[in-house]
Amino acid sequence: MLDKHQGARLANLWDDGKAAGMTEPEKLLYRSNLLGSDKRITNYGGGNTSAEVMEKDPLTGEIVEVLWVKGSGGDVGTIKMDGFSTLYMDKLRALKGIYRGVEFEDEMVGYLPHCTFNLNPRAASIDTPLHAYVPKPHVDHMHPDAIIAIAASKNSRELTSKIFGDEIGWLPWKRPGYELGLWLEKFCQENPDARGVVLESHGLFTWGDTAKEAYETTIEIINRAIAWFETENTGPAFGGRSKPVLAAADRAAIAKKLMPVIRGLISAGESKVGHFDDSQAVLDFVTSTSLEPLAALGTSCPDHFLRTKIRPLVVDFDPAQPDVGNTLAGLPEAIATYRADYAAYYERCKRADSPAMRDPNAVVYLVPGVGMITFAKDKATARISAEFYVNAINVMRGASGVSTYVGLPEQEAFDIEYWLLEEAKLQRMPKPKSLAGRIALVTGGAGGIGKATANRLMQEGACVVLADIDETALEAAQTELSTRYGKDFVRSVNMNVTSEAAVESGFGDALLAFGGLDILVSNAGLATSAAVEDTTLALWNKNMDILATGYFLVSREAFRIFRNQKAGGNVVFVASKNGLAASPGASAYCTAKAAEIHLARCLALEGASAQIRVNVVNPDAVLRGSKIWTGEWKEQRAAAYKMDVDELEAHYRERSMLKLSVFPEDIAEAIYFLASDMSAKSTGNIVNVDAGNAQSFTR
């Protein structure tokens, strides 16, 4: 990713060769994707692009003017053709006749669907009138850091004219909506030669007669702002450094300690997932003299604000005398104070028809000398919130370097956060999945049962850390799952479960990746077979190490995290039918599996008072996809039954009471049940998934 600091200019990426054969809508898509590909031009989901295109009306056959504009909820960087809404321009113009004034501007959103061209199902966004009423065919609206730095400066009007002269105008802060569309139109009529306009506390509008001209104007104007900051903003960032930066390993170590504790304190209403960012932009800010005063001002651009809340929480931590114990002890009070402040802000600003107060917890946690931690309902949202706050940091850096930075006025911020149109958008969101916001670690995660389990949990919205010793299989599993569910949801760690150090560091990586842990699936295993007189001590110890000690080590680590996090916890052991049923020629394996089951019972007893549940799934003969059921073990079992290895699956099926084969997905289903709230009142249980085997009936 490109460095987001001022310095590097934006490149003009327009390629005439590529654009030559494109239709106007295709050129709009091309331009949008180019602009959205750089976070310095606009943040994720922020900004809009549009083009007015002459099209044949499907009803009358006449050629009519159609506005193509990014639809509601889209992102210009990743938008595809179906992300644009299309509206009749003459109908959009006719809306002016029924507009009742600024107090009623929200009702205009309800009229937009009446303007739809060609039954396009993509909902039009609130920004549509802003694009429709600029009397130019191609319009870009971006949220560039360098422009918002001007827009969020106390003297932004003066700075705009100083940098751009008459080419770029300036409009005072106005919440995006119908009225702002009319303001833009008036501005263009009064300033026919202007190429764009800076919106105070918000962003940039630019336009052109062709798609290429609009694109190049946008890039040129942002580059001029970047260049201006290069010459004007030459002092130390944020007034200079007042705190040391800890070394990378120490920063990570502190974050691992803070994240689960914060998570436990803010996850009462919904489970949250964390993200840690210690990029240079963040470190410059969290070590500066201006950290506290600037953080208290909150963000400026409404997009930044919606994603990062009214203001971040600055964690009380002194990197000059690092004492994380003190910080941890102070967190409950710091978070309670933040919540009380948020509730007071809600009470101060609420209106008669405001929606009820939402989650009062902070999204952004700034740790001096360490970095930034963000928490949200899922990993993507937490990561994107961090990206937004980095945009806000860049804005504050620019504005405070050349002027006085001004955040959005509190009432304006509130009116956007609790905007009824925003509330309606939230209400339309799909219901969260059953494991949304939950974090699971699966040992043996690259194998048959492990991967099927990760898949099942991710299907339900969980984030999963795959732990395995097989690097190649681990990489393949991570690629497969991230392709299916998105990169944000899965991480992998190399973990030998018999190594105390490896277990500790693997769980640490999981904490840094997602901010906590809710579910441990202990599944890593092996199987051996030998008559007792032929069982070497090494073979005996190997079974004990991986199956008994390995399960102990990962459980101990999970318990430590659960107790710090104070939000309950869930452990599922994948044991075996052989943990209950004795089997000839496999005493080491059977005994170690029995140890697992008894360990689970002990842990269920110990964990109950902390709402930590521990349960066991007992599979039998899950051959497909298994790494255990390859090579030696398979041959040994086949030899024991005097049959060919290919006949084993049928053999086990016929041996079962239900005459069914057991697959990894069957085990994963039972694990999901025990890991989810469906089994909230079960602990210390064993679920057999073995197609029926009287020997392993629990008693």
**Site track 181-210 with Zn ion (rule: CB under 5 A), x = hit:** ----------------------x-------
Greatest Cα-to-Cα distance within the chain, rounded to the nearest angstrom? 98
Q: How far is CA 341 from the centre of its chain?
A: 26
Question: For the sheet containing 364-367, what is the strand order?
Answer: 273-277, 371-376, 364-367, 313-314
Q: Which two tokens stand for residue 511?
A: 């904490």
C-alpha distance from residue 309 to each of 304, 365, 471 (Å):
8, 11, 40
Residue 140 or 518 with smaller CB distance to Zn ion: 140
**Cβ neighbours of 35 (radius 10 Å):** 24
Q: Which residue is nearest to Zn ion (CB)?
A: 203
C-alpha distance from residue 186 to each of 51, 69, 182, 475, 631 (Å):
19, 20, 6, 57, 78
Write a three-state SS string for 260-274: HHHHHHHCCCCCCEE
Residue 203 or 461 with smaller CB distance to Zn ion: 203
Residue 184 or 614 with smaller CB distance to Zn ion: 184
Question: Has 405 been annotated as catalytic?
Answer: no
Closest approach of Zn ion to the CB of residue 142, in Å = 8
Q: Is 696 exposed, middle or buried (0-12, 13-18, 19+ CB in 10 A)?
A: middle
Instruction: Determine the Cα–Cα distance for residues 112 and 114; give it in Å rounded to an integer.
Output: 5
Size of the site for Zn ion (CB under 5 A): 1
Closest approach of Zn ion to the CB of residue 123, in Å = 17
Residue 302 or 579 with smaller CB distance to Zn ion: 302
Closest approach of Zn ion to the CB of residue 202, in Å = 6
- The answer to whether the beta carbons of residues 273 and 378 sit under 8 Å apart is yes
Closest approach of Zn ion to the CB of residue 91, in Å = 24
Closest approach of Zn ion to the CB of residue 358, in Å = 22
- The answer to whether the beta carbons of residues 68 and 55 sit under 8 Å apart is no
Catalytic residue among 215, 389, 551, 589: 589
Q: Which two tokens stand for residue 388?
A: 């937004």
Residue 151 or 441 with smaller CB distance to Zn ion: 151
Q: Which of 461, 488, 588, 593 is nearest to 536 (CA)?
A: 588
Residue 298 or 447 with smaller CB distance to Zn ion: 298
Residue 415, helix vs strand vs coil: helix
- The answer to whether the beta carbons of residues 189 and 117 sit under 8 Å apart is no
Q: Is 347 exposed, middle or buried (0-12, 13-18, 19+ CB in 10 A)?
A: exposed
Residue 199 or 452 with smaller CB distance to Zn ion: 199
Instruction: Spell 106-115 as b/e; 16+ CB within 10 A means b.
Output: bebbebbeeb
Closest approach of Zn ion to the CB of residue 166, in Å = 23
Q: Which two tokens stand for residue 53?
A: 């295109």
Residue 435, helix vs strand vs coil: coil
Q: Which of 661, 696, 448 is nearest to 577 (CA)?
A: 696
Closest approach of Zn ion to the CB of residue 53, in Å = 23
- The answer to whether the beta carbons of residues 295 and 312 sit under 8 Å apart is yes
Tokens 């099927």 map to which residue?
452
Residue 180 or 670 with smaller CB distance to Zn ion: 180
- Pick out residues in 427-466 that bind Zn ion (CB under 5 A): none
Instruction: Determine the Cα–Cα distance for residues 218 and 12; give it in Å rounded to an integer.
Output: 10
- The answer to whether the beta carbons of residues 640 and 652 sit under 8 Å apart is no
Instruction: Determine the Cα–Cα distance for residues 547 and 587; give it in Å rounded to an integer.
Output: 13
Residue 77 or 203 with smaller CB distance to Zn ion: 203
Closest approach of Zn ion to the CB of residue 228, in Å = 21
The number of residues making up the chain comes to 699
Q: What is the DSSP string of 332-356?
A: HHHHHHHHHHHHHHHHHH--TTPPP
Residue 203 or 319 with smaller CB distance to Zn ion: 203
Closest approach of Zn ion to the CB of residue 46, in Å = 6
Closest approach of Zn ion to the CB of residue 75, in Å = 13
Query: Which amino acid, residue 1?
Result: M
Residues involved in catalysis: 589
Q: Give the footprint of Zn ion on this chain (CB under 5 A).
A: 203
